[in-house]
Amino acid sequence: MRLLHTMIRVSDLEKSIDFYTHVLGMRLLRRKDYPGGKFTLAFVGYGDESDTAVIELTHNWETSSYEQGNAYGHIAIGAEDIYALCERIRADGGMISREPGPMKHGDTVIAFVRDPDGYAIELIQKKD
């Protein structure tokens, strides 16, 4: 067994696809409209779905916003240089919600950004 994908509901699919592909550097792997159900699914990720876990962006055509609730935590992404990545994200209009630096009670360097719907994404500096 392996983890296939994580699904999040998004209010503006084009804006979300742009964020995950252009700002975070993922690829749009596939996209399909389901007119009978009035929704669209778009899958984004860093690798092929046969090898890596991806994110499913679900856009319900008749829903304009969602409440995230207090159970959702974050999506984590490992990066070679999160300081440079945060500068690029900021330059691309992304929101840095926690600047890069060591985590509390540890030495792992992390940062947090928010996607267009406010979902938290943790960036974790890869260790040498």
CA 58 – CA 8 distance, rounded (Å): 6
122 labelled catalytic: yes
Dihedral sign for Cα 90, 58, 32, 62, please: negative
The Cα-based distances of 107 to 10, 83, 101, 110, 124 in angstroms read 33, 15, 9, 9, 11
Residue 63's nearest CA partner among 117, 26, 4, 7 is 117
Catalytic residue among 80, 87, 99, 122: 122
Q: Which residues are catalytic?
A: 122
